[in-house]
Amino acid sequence: MERIVIEGGSPLKGDITIGGAKNSAVALIPAALLADGVCTIKNVPNITDKDALFDIVKLLNCKITESNKEIKIDTRDLKNVLINEELSVKLRASYYFMGVLLSRYKHVEIYFPGGCNIGSRPIDLHLKGFKALGAKVTKRGHKYILDAQELKGNTINLDFASVGATINIMFAAVLANGRTIIKNAAKEVEIINIMDFLNKMGAKISGAGTDTIIIDGVNKLSGTDIEVIPDRIEAGTYIIMGALLGDNLKVNGIIPEHNKALFSKLEEMGVEFSIEGNSVTINKCNNLKCTNIKTLVYPGFPTDLGQPMSVLLTQASGVSIMEETIWENRVGHYPYLQKMGANIELNGLVATIKGKTPLKGTEINATDLRAGAALIVAGLIASGTTMIYDIDYILRGYENIINKLTNVGAKIKLEKI
Ligand code: EPZ
């Protein structure tokens, strides 16, 4: 067991380089199993979610090698076996193997996906898509069994622009007979990364990044290579830290376009930053203005940055509102921010945050991945020592976060307990 220990108050100066996007990589790795051959995936982030997916890929008898953020997956001996609960509950993205194995073998057996406790995390939209393509879905306890005589293209209207359902339906449709149209598709940029990978394999997909995606089924997909796009949520988390403690903090390897919603909010709050190419330099803002934020699907303000952003709002003068609209339980960080001295009134998923309040270091717990990131942000600005427990959540999604922060002057370390 380990905890993160932070001595707050150090300015952040120097360079941080952003890794590959977790929410791309966790879909690209299963996607490689759609191809009969060898795929290379570059710029894979060094996060524990990757290791959990590797275990499933190996269980399915694929060869996987890794060197310096580049992985090769050989699927020529793939065996479509049951994906057991111990493996599938480690992360939510295990559900991508449903669409992939249904597509290739018209049969898949897998247990419920896992993931942070930020809501009930149903997969009804995924299953609705699979059924629309001709699959029969049987649930036995915690196990799903999907079977299809044939997968036939269809038009699927998503009740909600679900990222996972959009990607999983793409997987299930890419080898189906005929055309599939996904309406009200999620527009997150990671979906474009997945479409590019599948099209390089020989798929015929268009429209990713818009609310209508068209997939014309093909017979076979072959091995190819793809690069994971930069992680806009990792980038946004460090940019928020820069607005609180930056002394010419330079965040490199970003795609500024992907963080437009964050940048416009920071401008509204009076934060000064300069963007050159794929880097942004940001400095501490001493007169943060309050603002109101509502998390939305892309290109709105991302739910995954709502928690770190709420810490920034505690340092803005006046009353700010942070409203979470995507996950019904993404509020686990607030009690700990209150314990540190933040003046927050939570009403359901709407937090009224009165600033500017000094935060004081204390013992706190990460309740989910981005809550953990928010607590690190809080510890970095708090006076005194902050100790964060249950940090496995954080290591799932932020590669080398202790080193990246230490390298720019943060007093942060991992401590065995
Ligand atoms: C992806 O989750 C991301 N995870 C999440 O990031 C992110 O918060 C989310 O998209 C929204 O951007 C990965 O990509 C691995 P959704 P996903 O399907 O696909 C409801 C992080 O911190 N819903 O868009 O699971 C669901 O309950 C993680 O990196 C259904 O009702 O999200 C939620 O309210 C957290 N039925 C909303 O849609 C379904 O079948 C958003 O879900 C599917 C989803």
pLDDT per residue as tens digits for the range 351-387: 999 999 999 999 999 999 999 999 999 999 999 999 9
Beta bridge partner(s), residue 14: 249
Strand positions, DSSP E, 177-314:
179-183, 204-206, 212-216, 225-227, 246-252, 273-276, 279-282, 292-294
CB 382 within 8 A of CB 359: yes
For ligand 1, atom 42, the nearest C-alpha belongs to: 162
Residues 339 and 384 reside in one and the same domain: yes
The alpha-helical segments, DSSP class H, found in 292-358 are: 303-314, 334-339
Residue from 160, 170, 234, 394 whose mutation best tests the ligand 1 pocket (most atoms within 8 A of CB): 160
- Spatial separation of the C-alpha atoms in residues 243 and 43, rounded to whole Å: 27
pLDDT of residue 116: 65
Model pTM?
A: 0.97
Whole-number pLDDT of residue 92: 82
Choose the final residue of a domain: 186, 212, 227.
Answer: 227
Residue numbers of the domain that contains 329: 2-19+230-416
Looking at 227, 242, 269, the residue that finishes a domain is 227
Query: Which residue type, as a one-letter code, is found at position 388?
Result: I
- Same structural domain for residues 238 and 187? no
CATH number of the domain to which 341 belongs: 3.65.10.10
Residue 94 shares a structural domain with residue 222:
yes
Same domain? 83 vs 115: yes
Give the pLDDT confidence score for residue 1 in this predicted structure.
Answer: 87
Do 8 and 63 share a structural domain? no
For residue 12, pLDDT over 80 is answered with yes
Convert the pLDDT of each residue in 219-259 to its tens digit.
999 999 999 999 999 999 999 999 999 999 999 999 999 99
What is the rounded CA–CA span in Å between residue 8 and residue 412?
9
Integer angstrom CA distances of residue 335 from 89, 182, 328? 27, 39, 16
Give yes or no: residues 209 and 301 share one domain: no
- The residue whose CA has the least distance to atom 26 of ligand 1 is 121
Report the separation in Å between the CA atom of 294 and the middle of ligand 1, taken as the mean of its atom positions: 16
Cβ pair 148, 106 in contact under 8 A: yes
Looking at residue 376, the DSSP 8-state letter turns out to be H
The number of folded domains in the chain is 2
SS3 category, 120: coil
State in Å: Cα 61 to ligand 1 middle: 28
Main-chain dihedrals φ then ψ at residue 119, nearest 5 degrees: 170, 180
Nearest CA to ligand 1 atom 13: 23
**Claim to verify: residue 254 and residue 369 sit in the same structural domain:** yes
Read off the amino acid at residue 39: C
Position 155 confidence tier, pLDDT thresholds 50, 70, 90? very high
**Cα–Cα distance for residue pair 245/409, rounded to 1 Å:** 10
Phi and psi for 391 in degrees, rounded to 5? -85, 0
What confidence score (pLDDT) does residue 114 get?
Answer: 67
The predicted pLDDT at position 403 comes to 97
β-sheet with 246-252: strand ranges across: 12-17, 246-252, 279-282, 273-276
- The pLDDT value given to residue 49: 87
CB atoms within 10 A of CB 324: 22
Asked if 217 and 178 touch (Cβ cutoff 8 Å), the reply is: yes
Span 86-111, average pLDDT: 92
AA identity, residue 322: M
What pLDDT is recorded for position 88? 85
pLDDT for 391 equals 93
Specify the pairing of strand 107-111 against strand 143-147: antiparallel
Task: Label residue 198 by pLDDT band (50, 70, 90).
Answer: very high
Q: Say if ligand 1 is within 6 A of residue 168 CB.
A: no
**Nearby residues of 122 by Cβ (< 8 Å), 6 or more positions away:** none
**Do you find a cis peptide bond into 356, omega within 30 degrees of 0?**
yes
Q: What is the pLDDT of residues 54-67, one digit of tens each?
A: 999 999 999 999 99
Do 208 and 24 form a contact (C-beta atoms < 8 A)?
A: no
Domain identity same for 174 and 282: no
The C-alpha angle with vertex 392 and arms to 388 and 397, in degrees rounded to 5, equals 105
Answer yes or no: is pLDDT of 141 > 90: no
Are the CB atoms for 376 and 412 separated by under 8 Å? yes
Residue of 342, 365, 341, 367 lying closest to 353 (CA atoms): 342
Confidence of residue 278 (pLDDT cuts 50, 70, 90): very high
Phi and psi at 374, nearest 5°, equal -60, -40
- 151 shares its domain with 207: yes
pLDDT at 128: 96
With the most atoms of ligand 1 within 8 angstroms of its CB, the residue from 326, 333, 393, 399 to mutate is: 326
pLDDT the model gives residue 84: 87
* Percent of residues, the chain, with pLDDT higher than 90: 89
User: How many other C-beta atoms can be found within 10 angstroms of the C-beta atom of residue 138?
Assistant: 10
pLDDT digits 0-9 by tens, 295-332: 999 999 999 999 999 999 999 999 999 999 999 899 99
Residue whose C-alpha is closest to residue 134's, from 177, 195, 182: 177
Between CA 161 and CA 242 the distance in angstroms is 31
pLDDT computed for residue 75 by the predictor:
98
Q: Rounded to whole angstroms, how far apart are CA atoms 215 and 194?
A: 13
Same domain, 121 and 52: yes
Confirm whether 116 is a catalytic residue: yes
344 pLDDT exceeds 70? yes
Exposed/middle/buried for 253, CB within 10 Å: 0-12, 13-18, 19+? middle
